[in-house]
Amino acid sequence: MNFDIEKIRKDFPILHQEINKRPLVYFDNAATTQKPSVVTQALADYYNQYNSNIHRGVHYLSNMATDAFENARKYIQLFINAKNAHEIIYTKGTTESINLVAYSFFKRFVKSGDNIIISALEHHSNIVPWQMACENHKAQLRVLPMNENGSLQLEKLNDLMDDKTRLVAINHVSNALGTINPIKEIISIAHSKNVPVLLDGAQAISHIKVDVQELDVEFYCFSGHKVFAPMGIGILYGKESLLNEMPPYQGGGEMIKEVSFEKTTYNELPFKFEAGTPSVGDVIGLHKALEYVQKLGLENIAAYEDELLEYATKRIQEIQDVRIFAKDISKTAVLSFLVGKIHPYDIGVLLDKMGIAVRTGHHCTQPIMDFYKIPGTVRASFAFYNTKQEIDLFIEALKKVCQILS
């Protein structure tokens, strides 16, 4: 491990509290991550010192806020190695980024009888917007199936595609299982038939270095709150050539060049897709969060989280009848499991009584649960501020819970 965990934990005040008279163990990082003080301080500084609406402002505060907002865009560009800052579109989150593409890409590129491909491992956010768009445009939604071990049946992708396939939209990492999908191969197969690819990076951005130019991916989406930034801010990266062709997603201020009652002309990128007042403070928070991650180093983060996952996977097998999902594949620090016939909800509620926060249920991936014929799982998901001592507390608590419930 190349970083000082005690020092890191001091940056996250929320971790230092008791829940139900026990020290908080926060293992719900796949749902949302905690925010370091540099992020909350940046929000406070913005609202206390230079809160102002951006662009077109002639006054000092507006210029300050605009600079911070646009500097953040440049930083995010470098963080994912996009070619241009105007390929970075601010949204509310991954969900909105996908909805934007589903609306706008479909309107421009998808006709009746066309099809697009998603996978069996998707979050509802990467299913429902496509279903809605397919319904509107009379297109077909095709699904790349999964294997029992939590991986995708990649060998079937080529056969699913034909000359009417317009897009492949797949997650980089599965939120329910942690599966790291073979995105390079997926992109290469799709591109061999000139099909563009959208990657849902909600679960990857805080664990894996993303280089959109090296990947040569057409769209990449993520949420700020999954990478230690505030809620309410997300990113859509899109290749300039495609974004330029796509019509605006929403109408309003900022996205126009000129408006008359007869005709409106649209603004250039990225503003064409950013109607209305954006969440300026949250953008500034996202900038700070990404700087924080960059300083730690994503390679260091991944190596440390791998250690945590390995340790937790080993220890949880001390529990009788435990079933670990996606145990033997390449994955991020997600431990999705069930114990015997105990309902996952009951485990989650009792763990909470012992100060341990995990998520239970279908994790917005009902098709995965249907595949396994289960109501849901218990999911413990780790971040770089978690420790092996916390895993020990979790395992001891889980043993007690299972004793009570079985």
Cβ pair 206, 294 in contact under 8 A: no
Residue whose entry in the numeric block shows the structure tokens 């056969």: 159
Residue 36: what are its φ and ψ, rounded to 5°? Answer: -70, 160
* Smallest separation, CB 221 to ligand PLP (Å): 8
Angstrom distance (rounded) from CA 268 to CA 281: 23
With b for 16 or more beta-carbon neighbours within 10 A and e for fewer, the 122-159 pattern comes to bbebbbbbbeebbeebebeebebebeeebbbeeeebee
Pick the binder of ligand PLP from 33, 77, 94, 151 (CB under 6 A): 94
| Catalytic residue selected from 134, 221, 364, 402 | 364
* Smallest separation, CB 356 to ligand PLP (Å): 20
Alpha-carbon distances of 210 from 14, 216, 222, 341, rounded to whole Å: 28, 11, 11, 39
Burial class (CB in 10 A: 0-12, 13-18, 19+), 360: buried
Judged by CB under 6 A, the stretch of 67-75, 119-127, 181-189, 320-328 that binds ligand PLP is 119-127
Residue 77 in the binding site for ligand PLP (CB under 6 A): no
Burial class (CB in 10 A: 0-12, 13-18, 19+), 406: exposed
Residue 377 in the binding site for ligand PLP (CB under 6 A): no
Residue with smaller CB distance to ligand PLP, 199 or 246:
199
Angstrom distance (rounded) from CA 164 to CA 168: 12
* Smallest separation, CB 321 to ligand PLP (Å): 28
Alpha-carbon distances of 324 from 208, 292, 335, 351, 393, rounded to whole Å: 23, 32, 7, 18, 19
* Smallest separation, CB 127 to ligand PLP (Å): 10
Residue with smaller CB distance to ligand PLP, 104 or 365:
365
* Smallest separation, CB 123 to ligand PLP (Å): 4
Pick the binder of ligand PLP from 223, 360, 381, 386 (CB under 6 A): 223
Residue 33 in the binding site for ligand PLP (CB under 6 A): no
Alpha-carbon distances of 351 from 149, 227, 354, 401, 402, rounded to whole Å: 27, 25, 5, 7, 10
Pick the binder of ligand PLP from 29, 99, 104, 126 (CB under 6 A): 126
State which of positions 286-305 bind ligand PLP (CB under 6 A).
none
Residue 282 in the binding site for ligand PLP (CB under 6 A): no
* Smallest separation, CB 6 to ligand PLP (Å): 29
With b for 16 or more beta-carbon neighbours within 10 A and e for fewer, the 9-24 pattern comes to eebbeebeeeeeeeeb
Residue whose entry in the numeric block shows the structure tokens 């130019």: 213
Cβ pair 40, 346 in contact under 8 A: no
Residue 116 in the binding site for ligand PLP (CB under 6 A): no
Burial class (CB in 10 A: 0-12, 13-18, 19+), 368: buried
Judged by CB under 6 A, the stretch of 199-207, 299-307, 321-329, 367-375 that binds ligand PLP is 199-207
Residue 125 in the binding site for ligand PLP (CB under 6 A): yes
Angstrom distance (rounded) from CA 244 to CA 2: 43
Pick the binder of ligand PLP from 26, 68, 76, 93 (CB under 6 A): 93
Residue 203 in the binding site for ligand PLP (CB under 6 A): yes
CA nearest to 23, candidates 4, 9, 5: 9
Pick the binder of ligand PLP from 33, 34, 77, 95 (CB under 6 A): 95
Q: How many residues bind ligand PLP (CB under 6 A)?
A: 13
Pick the binder of ligand PLP from 202, 326, 350, 402 (CB under 6 A): 202
Residue 285 in the binding site for ligand PLP (CB under 6 A): no
Residue with smaller CB distance to ligand PLP, 200 or 274:
200
Residue 402 falls in the annotated catalytic set: no
Binding residues for ligand PLP, rule: CB under 6 A, are 93-95, 123, 125-126, 171, 175, 200, 202-203, 223, 225
Q: Give the catalytic positions in this structure.
A: 364
